[in-house]
Amino acid sequence: MQQRKTKTWVPLHAGLTVSEALAEILCHDFQVMLSWEDQARTWDNTEGVHQMRVSSRRMRAALSAFRTAVPKTVSQPWSDELRWIANQLGPARDLDVFIDEGLASVRHRLPLSGGERLEALARQRRALAYESVRAMLDSERYLAFKLDFPDWFGQAAWTRAELSPRERHRLARSIAHYARKRLDRLMHHVLEAGLGVDRDDPRQMHLLRIECKKLRYAAEFFAPIVPGLDDFIDRLKGLQDLLGALNDVAVTSELLADLLAEESDREVIRYAGALIGWRTHQAYDLLKDFEERWREFRRSERPW
């Protein structure tokens, strides 16, 4: 039985400065990431890898959301380390989803042989992926990150960097004012990405999904200081779920191509083709609601 993580907002309040709020966000998600380390070593609880990956992505999103106060030139080394961590966890997470959700969802729906062999191949590959996760967790690079990153955000080291007077002024301002401006800007990026988007173009839909994810992370950061964001986040999540359907098909296709690169068993290959067809059908069935969801989102009130 997998343990599910209870959602908790970062403990921000309107009295914090921009600099203090960034430190709070990074500290919160850093601690969350560390709390899932032991579970991430095996697939007994697949939430371990998942939550570590989400936390690393949220910290990168925070650095991006605060970029007008802490410029990319200052935060980039840590953003690169967080990307590395997420990338090391990615293959294990993709295989967890493929086995526990992708294959499980069609097990009794595809009347074809080859499914058991395909699952066995996936489980073998997952074992290798988790070896890579454990190697990352035990690496000197990850240890250095765990030691040095808390010092960086704990001491607000960005204040000692070469910043412009405007950036220093922003760091000292109230987070409440900054949060509203950043949410407005990120919302603009989402609307721009969705303007005339072709739902049959995976690239366009993927770009829209990325912008939605950036906005959602920022909204979650700022929810404690901007009333009404909870409902907004729920609507945004509904839109993201639809966009994620197409991404799941793309990930499944790439994963199967890799798994079956040297496979000659025709039954397994046929099963994989049927699986792609089924997942694609599911995705486009969900996307029938995209236009309506998108219109509702565009017209929704911005709580900030």
Look at 52 and 282; give whichever has higher pLDDT: 52
In whole numbers, what is the pLDDT of the chain averaged over residues? Answer: 93
How confident is the model at residue 3, as a pLDDT?
42
Percentage of the chain lying above the pLDDT 70 cut: 97
Tokens of 298: 């565009």
Tokens of 95: 């295989």
Whether 202 has a pLDDT exceeding 70, the answer reads: yes
Tokens of 43: 């697939």
CA angle 1/243/46 to nearest 5° reads 20
d(CA 283, CA 300): 25
d(CA 149, CA 77): 10
In this structure, the number of other CB atoms found within 10 A of the CB of residue 192 comes to 11
How confident is the model at residue 7, as a pLDDT?
58
pLDDT tens digits along 109-134: 888 999 999 999 999 999 999 999 99
Which domains does the chain carry? Answer: 18-299 (1.40.20.10)
Whether 101 has a pLDDT exceeding 80, the answer reads: yes
Rg (CA), the chain: 21
Task: Dump the DSSP string for 192-244.
Answer: HHHTT--TT-HHHHHHHHHHHHHHHHHHHHHTTTSTTHHHHHHHHHHHHHHHH
Tokens of 50: 């998942």
β-partners of residue 174 are: 17
Specify which of 17-21, 112-116, 232-236, 277-281 reaches the highest per-range mean pLDDT: 17-21
How confident is the model at residue 300, as a pLDDT?
85
pLDDT tens digits along 16-31: 999 999 999 999 999 9
pTM here? Answer: 0.92
pLDDT tens digits along 144-199: 999 999 999 999 999 999 999 999 999 999 999 999 999 999 999 999 999 989 98
Percentage of the chain lying above the pLDDT 90 cut: 77
- Alpha helix segments (H runs only) across the chain: 18-35, 47-65, 72-97, 104-106, 115-137, 140-154, 165-172, 175-194, 202-222, 229-259, 266-286, 290-299
How confident is the model at residue 199, as a pLDDT?
85
Whether 216 has a pLDDT exceeding 80, the answer reads: yes
| Position 5 confidence tier, pLDDT thresholds 50, 70, 90 | very low
